[in-house]
């Protein structure tokens, strides 16, 4: 049985004119044989987004940007930007999310060419059934990350696919012995040491 491999692609709505028509045309490529996609257009900013914003702004500060000299400190810059939109409840940009199964000869550059991607976010290579399943769950926001971030859920009926993606998810079993072994060999995160005095 051939190993499932694929890609996860995000495309901003309107980036290619009629974006859905563009995606349908791209999915006709001979190296793509199964696919599922959805438009995430009901997302709003939530508390998780607001909590993460200062970290992104701190990266901007560290990288430097035109006009940075007008701020006396990083804290002043972050405080000013946090007072500007977006705020909790504001609508997020709409994105098309695509999961496609590809021929093993298909590489990143080929997928980028097929979908006209020359900027971030770049396609995410999915190397096994568990990764594909996780991204398929992300289409309806049933994956662990989306649940932790309290993202808006989408009905399965909104997903357009040329296969039964829900059956694929249901039939993805536990990790293989090799995958469990690889997980066990990854270094554990360091725990802070407790002082004994």
Of residues 173 and 12, more confidently modeled: 12
Q: Is the pLDDT of residue 176 over 60?
A: no
Same domain as 140, residue 110: yes
Upstream peptide bond of 7 is cis (omega within 30 degrees of 0): no
CATH code of the domain covering residue 177: 3.40.1310.30
Of residues 135 and 108, more confidently modeled: 135
Q: Which residues neighbour 117 within 8 Å (Cβ) at sequence distance 6 or greater?
A: 9, 11, 111, 123
Of residues 85 and 173, more confidently modeled: 85
Same domain as 177, residue 117: yes
Whether 190 is covered by a domain: the verdict is no
Q: What is the pLDDT of residue 40?
A: 97
Whether 192 is covered by a domain: the verdict is no
Whether 191 is covered by a domain: the verdict is no
Q: What is the pLDDT of residue 185?
A: 67
Helix (H, G, I), strand (E, B) or coil at 24: helix
Same domain as 71, residue 142: no
Average pLDDT for the chain: 88
Same domain as 39, residue 109: yes
Q: If you average pLDDT over residues 22-48, what whole number do you get?
A: 95
pLDDT-derived band at 125 (thresholds 50, 70, 90) equals very high
Q: Is the pLDDT of residue 149 over 80?
A: yes
Q: Is the pLDDT of residue 1 over 50?
A: no
Query: 102 pairs with which residues across the strands?
Result: 32
Whether 56 is covered by a domain: the verdict is yes
Same domain as 96, residue 74: no
Same domain as 116, residue 71: no
Q: What is the pLDDT of residue 144?
A: 87
Q: What is the pLDDT of residue 120?
A: 73
Q: What is the enclosing helix (H) or strand (E) of 37?
A: strand 32-40
Whether 76 is covered by a domain: the verdict is yes
Q: What is the pLDDT of residue 141?
A: 96
Q: Is the pLDDT of residue 188 over 80?
A: no
Q: What is the pLDDT of residue 108?
A: 86
Same domain as 114, residue 175: yes
Which of 177, 178, 179, 101 shows the shortest CA–CA distance to 133?
Answer: 101
Whether 1 is covered by a domain: the verdict is no
Q: If you average pLDDT over residues 88-115, what whole number do you get?
A: 92
Task: Show the domain range for 96.
Answer: 6-43+92-185
Q: If you average pLDDT over residues 81-97, what whole number do you get?
A: 95
Q: How many domains does the chain fold into?
A: 2
């Amino acid at each position: 049985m051939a190993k499932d491999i694929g890609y996860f692609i995000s495309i901003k709505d309107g980036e290619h004119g009629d974006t859905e028509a563009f995606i349908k045309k791209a999915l006709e490529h001979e190296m793509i044989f199964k696919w599922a996609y959805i438009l995430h257009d009901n997302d709003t900013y939530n508390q998780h987004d607001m909590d993460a914003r200062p970290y992104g702004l701190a990266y901007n500060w560290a990288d430097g940007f035109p006009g940075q000299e007008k701020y006396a400190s990083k804290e002043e810059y972050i405080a000013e930007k946090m007072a500007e939109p977006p705020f909790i409840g504001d609508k997020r940009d709409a994105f098309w999310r695509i999961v496609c199964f590809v021929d093993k000869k298909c590489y990143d550059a080929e997928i980028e060419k097929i979908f006209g991607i020359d900027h971030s976010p770049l396609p995410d290579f999915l190397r096994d059934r568990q990764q594909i399943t996780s991204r398929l769950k992300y289409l309806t926001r049933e994956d662990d990350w989306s649940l932790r971030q309290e993202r808006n859920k989408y009905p399965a009926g909104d997903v357009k696919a040329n296969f039964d993606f829900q059956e694929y998810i249901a039939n993805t079993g536990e990790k293989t012995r090799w995958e469990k072994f690889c997980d066990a060999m990854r270094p554990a995160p360091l725990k802070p040491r407790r002082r004994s005095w």
